Structure 1
Amino acid sequence: MSELPEMSTSIGVEVTRIEDRVEEAKVTPRRQVDATRILYGKAASDAPSLIGSVFTLCAASQRIASEAAMAAAQSRPTPDALRWRWRRMLYAERVAEHLRASLLDWPGEKSDPRRLAHLPALRKALGAARAAGEGNDNSLHAALKEAACEVGAPLEAGQNPTAWFAELWRDALQYAQIAPWLSGVDFLAIDDIESVHRALCERNADFLARPHLPGRVVETGPFTRQFAYLRRNVGLLAARLQARFQDIAQALDALASRELLAGEGDLVVAGSRRPGEGFAMVDSPRGFLFHRVEIDASGAVTTYDILAPTEWNFHPAGPFAQALAATKLDVAEPRRFVATLAALFDPCASCDIRLHEAQHA
């Protein structure tokens, strides 16, 4: 297993520009959560609740991934009722996490009254999402829809964002000429699950910090889920924000439906290569989340790996780095632009952004 240099809990983003051109965009991965150290020797039955308590963001997705991986390792079937519960929890968390990221992580003054005015709606959404595993579908949908509407999410086709989301939309639109669409995109897909599973089985620490598939630069998350429906004439940042809006609307539609929507069979996928080993992929709010576990004959955890969407999107040569390198930083506040672009890739960690001015030789 290769040794990695000591890393921060934040993602490092270092940009060097010459005039309006990005000379270099360097992304440094964050330090990983050592799940094996946390769970080693613990009973497999205790792992999901422990994992759910460790993570503040996407806690339901983390717990579900752990439950599914453990079930696979123990060759236990997953009842339909449990899968429906997972579905409810994942869609509720998708709405709540998008609202959280939009209100708490968007660049700008944190004490802005326009931001603060919508914090009660966020608390309502987070509370509803936390109770989704036990709650009634109708009341859950109503609470989350009310919160999303209060923040200004456009939930109908052709509807414009209002309230706080209208502020974000104006922010993103101002960069329409700055950040171009890249010539090609490549998205992590359900067909990649075996390749990722195989890489995690190899216990390569470098893959956990810098996951990659040979010859590809892949992304995962709302931009990939909604890509086919995005407007191309508003610039990359506004299109990414539109993907967030559509993800919220789609999740609410799913919560209101008693039937599975197209593609929902891929929300939680699990498998095993041998007895005592289990793997799960969950389509979390920020994208595909992977858990892999090994347990011994007594049912105790011996190995546990977690690979989050952030590691794909903020790979040093990944989609965020590529988008940043392709921009023109001919803006009055270049650091705010970089922060806005990072926010729209929605990492589950803070970004330490540093901007340098280089001179022509």
Structure 2
Amino acid sequence: MSVAMDLVGSYTLHPGQLHSITGHRPVMGRGTLGRLLRGLQGEAVERTLGQLFSLCSHAHRRAARLVLHAANPHPDQPLPVDPPVLLWLETARDHLRSMALDWPRRQPSLPDQAAPQAWLHNCPLSISHTSSPVTPDQAWETLTQLRRWLEEALLGQPLGHWLIRHRDNKTLAQWCLSHAPKLPPAQHLHTWHALAHTLAPGSRRLDLLSNDPVLQTATMQTLANTLANDHNFTQTPSWLGACAETGPWTRLRHQHKPTTAQVSAWTRLAARWTELIEIAAIQPHTPAQQLPALLASGAQRVGDGQAIAWCEMARGLLLHWVQLDAQGRVVDYRVVAPTEWNFHPQGTLAQALTALAPQDTSSALELAAAFDACVECKVTAPAHLESRHA
């Protein structure tokens, strides 16, 4: 299936202006996605969503499988649900891909390198999109190889030791400084740190997930009702009357951790590197009941033929809602992705951009990188300055 560019969409950031974010993804609004999927069922829904959202296809396919399973009008024909290790593996791949491809592009101040991806030499996890099915055993083996590669080729120490020593933002920044000459991700984070650690827009995290099953059920029911009744929600989502942001720094596992650290553009960027290490540090021999709840995912039936699913992915929290008919075919389908939360025209990023000077494209680029749109994003400037891509 080919997707027209006018469905993909883009964003433009305008520092120093009241309306600091313009643009959207047409596929997310006006019932477009529901019309594209109407009448499909099962694997056809997963496959189509994977093609529509190719950059994060694995997460969309997982969320689709979860939501279709929960809404299935024929519970005697359950759909298989992938184990968490497959989500962990693909999220690690997404983080690596972003560091290798997106970070250099979003940091034009650094000189061009002859081989910008040379640091990935011998990395056991390819950053290329893959459509080949991976078994859980294969995923565990690849994560084990990734851990060894990180320990031996990049960090020179066990991942667990590194995580203990670099949880603090100050020590992490120092590590980036010392490793910048030989490790591009550390170089990018070090270069960003000079400006991004002072960019500290107020944070209102998206807290839709809970370890309390009663609260979780009530929250998802309310959210599903909103999705079903508000066609505009998927493009400009809000929660409890306010905008919210989502990313690796807002995971369910971080929800109740006490911290006095300031949440800045830099900590939002660094959270991606830290999460890559956390994923690779998981040991495959850990008993299933003791595996960490690293990335939350699940689904809930919310009505007759209706369900909602959630999945923590590289860019944040992904939500799928579906209405099926009696034969299990899609009547309506809606997706709320991290980009729509983070690039909301009244959200945290928008307010931070408005507070900048109109000519401060450098800060705007740093903020754009921190919030990480999954579509094209550029920064405009006054007429005498050139527009720049984030």
Scaled by the length of structure 2, the TM-score of the pair is: 0.74
Give 1:57 shift: 1.7
Q: 2:144 aligns with which of 142, 145, 152?
A: 142
Question: Which amino acid is the alignment partner of residue 266 of structure 2?
Answer: A
My pick for the range that moved more, 146-155 or 303-312, is 146-155
Give 1:211 shift: 0.4
Task: Give 1:82-93 correspondences, 5 Å limit.
Answer: 83=81, 85-93=82-90
Kept after mapping to 2: 8 A contact 1:230/1:242: no
- 1:282 corresponds in structure 2 to 311
Per the alignment, do residues 294 and 189 of structure 1 end up closer, same or farther by CA in structure 2, a change over 3 Å counting?
closer
- 2:10 corresponds in structure 1 to 10
Please give the alpha-carbon distance, in whole angstroms, between the structure 1 residues aligned to 2:273 and 2:123: 15
Please give the alpha-carbon distance, in whole angstroms, between the structure 2 residues aligned to 1:314 and 1:252: 29
Please give the alpha-carbon distance, in whole angstroms, between the structure 2 residues aligned to 1:39 and 1:104: 31
Per the alignment, do residues 26 and 53 of structure 1 end up closer, same or farther by CA in structure 2, a change over 3 Å counting?
same
My pick for the range that moved more, 105-114 or 286-295, is 105-114
Where structure 2 has 5 or more consecutive residues not aligned to the other structure, the ranges are: 1-5, 167-174, 210-215, 385-390
Give 1:290 shift: 0.9
- Cα deviation per residue 1:157-206 (whole Å; 9 max; x = unaligned)? 32534401111121221115641353x5333331443332111111x231
Q: 2:380 aligns with which of 338, 344, 354?
A: 354
Give 1:344 shift: 1.4
Q: 1:195 aligns with which of 222, 229, 233?
A: 222
Q: Secondary structure at the match of 2:221?
A: helix
Question: Which amino acid is the alignment partner of residue 54 of structure 1?
Answer: L
My pick for the range that moved more, 151-160 or 218-227, is 151-160
Q: 2:51 aligns with which of 38, 50, 53?
A: 53
Where structure 1 has 5 or more consecutive residues not aligned to the other structure, the ranges are: 1-5, 17-22
Question: Which amino acid is the alignment partner of residue 89 of structure 1?
Answer: L
Question: Which amino acid is the alignment partner of residue 166 of structure 1?
Answer: A
Question: Which amino acid is the alignment partner of residue 271 of structure 1?
Answer: Q
Q: 1:311 aligns with which of 340, 343, 364?
A: 340
Give 1:126 shift: 3.2
- State yes or no: 1:164 paired with 2:166: no
Task: Give 1:201-280 correspondences, 5 Å limit.
Answer: 201-202=228-229, 204-225=230-251, 226=254, 228=257, 232=261, 236-254=264-282, 256=284, 257-260=286-289, 264=293, 267-280=296-309
Q: Secondary structure at the match of 1:171?
A: helix
Task: Give 1:165-184 correspondences, 5 Å limit.
Answer: 165-176=185-196, 178-180=198-200, 182=202
Kept after mapping to 2: 8 A contact 1:29/1:314: no
Q: Secondary structure at the match of 1:124?
A: coil
Kept after mapping to 2: 8 A contact 1:86/1:133: no
Kept after mapping to 2: 8 A contact 1:25/1:324: no
What is the CA RMSD across the aligned residues, in angstroms?
3.5
- Cα deviation per residue 1:44-91 (whole Å; 9 max; x = unaligned)? 342112222332222111001100111111153898x955x3311211
- State yes or no: 1:126 paired with 2:120: no
Per the alignment, do residues 128 and 72 of structure 1 end up closer, same or farther by CA in structure 2, a change over 3 Å counting?
same
Please give the alpha-carbon distance, in whole angstroms, between the structure 1 residues aligned to 2:344 and 2:292: 27
Q: 2:25 aligns with which of 23, 31, 35?
A: 31
Q: Secondary structure at the match of 1:306?
A: strand
Kept after mapping to 1: 8 A contact 2:11/2:23: yes
Question: Which amino acid is the alignment partner of residue 124 of structure 1?
Answer: L
- 2:98 corresponds in structure 1 to 101
Please give the alpha-carbon distance, in whole angstroms, between the structure 1 residues aligned to 2:345 and 2:21: 5
Q: 1:344 aligns with which of 363, 367, 370?
A: 370
My pick for the range that moved more, 341-350 or 58-67, is 341-350
Please give the alpha-carbon distance, in whole angstroms, between the structure 2 residues aligned to 1:231 and 1:48: 41
Per the alignment, do residues 315 and 165 of structure 1 end up closer, same or farther by CA in structure 2, a change over 3 Å counting?
same
- 2:170 corresponds in structure 1 to none
Please give the alpha-carbon distance, in whole angstroms, between the structure 2 residues aligned to 1:98 and 1:280: 22
Please give the alpha-carbon distance, in whole angstroms, between the structure 1 residues aligned to 2:288 and 2:129: 21
Please give the alpha-carbon distance, in whole angstroms, between the structure 2 residues aligned to 1:274 and 1:213: 21
Please give the alpha-carbon distance, in whole angstroms, between the structure 2 residues aligned to 1:229 and 1:240: 17
Give 1:121 shift: 6.2
Per the alignment, do residues 177 and 269 of structure 1 end up closer, same or farther by CA in structure 2, a change over 3 Å counting?
closer
Question: Which amino acid is the alignment partner of residue 54 of structure 2?
Answer: T
- State yes or no: 1:70 paired with 2:68: yes
Scaled by the length of structure 1, the TM-score of the pair is: 0.80
Question: Which amino acid is the alignment partner of residue 142 of structure 2?
Answer: L
- 1:20 corresponds in structure 2 to none
